[in-house]
Structure 1
C-alpha cells in the first residue's frame, strides 16, 4: 500500500485501511450511497473489513492507489471517501467520492476530488480519468463538471442494468 497522504487546505486524504471499517460501514449505508452507488451488503464492521481488504487494499497493492478516507484537519473527523478505482467495463480508471450527509454542501467534495485528480495525473501517472454517475445524481454531475470532466454519453456496466452518465478528463 502506498501510504501516501494528500493534503489540502482543510483536509487530509489518507489511504483507507481496516481501521476505517466502522466509519466505512456507516458511510456505505447512508441513503445517498444506497441510492446512487448501490447496496454493498455491508451490515457489520466485519463486513466492512472484508470489503476493504478484498476491494480496497488489494487494489492498493496492485496499482498504488485506491480509496482515500477524507479527514478534516481541524478536528480529525472522518467526512467521506474519494478514490480512483479500477472498474470492470471501463477502459480507464474511475474517480469517485461519497460523504456522510452532514458534511455535504461545504466544498469538501471539490477540495478532495481536485487533490486526487491532480495526484492521478502528476503522481500516479494516469493520462485519463473517467467518472460514472447515476442520471439522477445532480450533485455528483455538478462536481464532475467543476473538476473539468466532460460528458461522454451513457454507459451500462457489466452485470448492471442502470444506464449511467460517463465523464472523462485527459491530460
Structure 2
C-alpha cells in the first residue's frame, strides 16, 4: 500500500530509504538477531540497500509490504509490521518487529490488527499466514491474538530452519 494509515496511538506508513538508520538499529537488536536472524546489515548503506532490494519491490508489486510504526505523541519510530509475499509460498505472511523499549505496550497488536483490516477491506486479502520460531513466545502470543491458528511447521525460502506455521482466513 502506497498510503499511510493511523490508529488511535500510531501513524503507520510504508518504509522508505530515509528509514535506513532506524532499520539498521532494529535489525541489529538482540531479539531480531535471536528470532529473525542476522541479515548482515552493518551500516546505514547496508540498511538502505536492504530497503531498496527487499521492501520497495514488494510495495511496487502488491501495493503493500513493510511499514514503519510511529508513535503519534512524539513521532518516535517504534518498529515495523507488514504482510509479505515470498517466492514459492502461495499465502502471504504477516511479520512485525519492535525495538526492545517499545515491547509489551500493545503497539504491535494495534498496528498489525489495523493492517490486516486494511488489506482485507482495500486489497481483497482473504488468507494470511505467519511463521515464527517455537521459542519466540511473544511472537506466538501476538500471532494467536490476531486470530491465526497453528497449522504445523514450515520453512521460508530464505532459510532451512523449521518454523511454526500459522494460518487464518480473513
Q: After TM superposition, is the score higher than 0.5?
A: yes
Shift of 1:3: 2.9
Aligned to 1:160: 159
Question: What's the Cα RMSD here?
Answer: 1.1
Shift of 1:158: 3.4
Q: CA separation in 1, counterparts of 2:13 and 2:144?
A: 25
Q: CA separation in 1, counterparts of 2:156 and 2:79?
A: 24
Alignment of 1:59 with 2:95, yes or no, is: no
Shift of 1:128: 0.4
Shift of 1:41: 0.8
Shift of 1:159: 5.2
Q: CA separation in 1, counterparts of 2:59 and 2:147?
A: 26
Alignment of 1:118 with 2:132, yes or no, is: no
Residues 113 and 146 of structure 2 are in contact (CA less than 8 Å); yes or no, is this contact kept in structure 1? yes
**In the comparison of the two structures, how many residue pairs are matched?**
170
Matching of residues 44-123 of structure 1 within 5 Å: 44-123=43-122
Aligned to 1:25: 24
Q: TM-score, normalised by structure 2?
A: 0.96
Q: CA separation in 2, counterparts of 1:71 and 1:161?
A: 33
Alignment of 1:4 with 2:3, yes or no, is: yes
Moved over 3 A (4+): none
Aligned to 2:35: 36
Q: CA separation in 1, counterparts of 2:66 and 2:156?
A: 20
Distance 1:107 1:31, change over 3 A: same
Shift of 1:108: 0.4
**Unmatched segments (≥5 aa) in structure 1:** none
Q: CA separation in 2, counterparts of 1:159 and 1:13?
A: 27
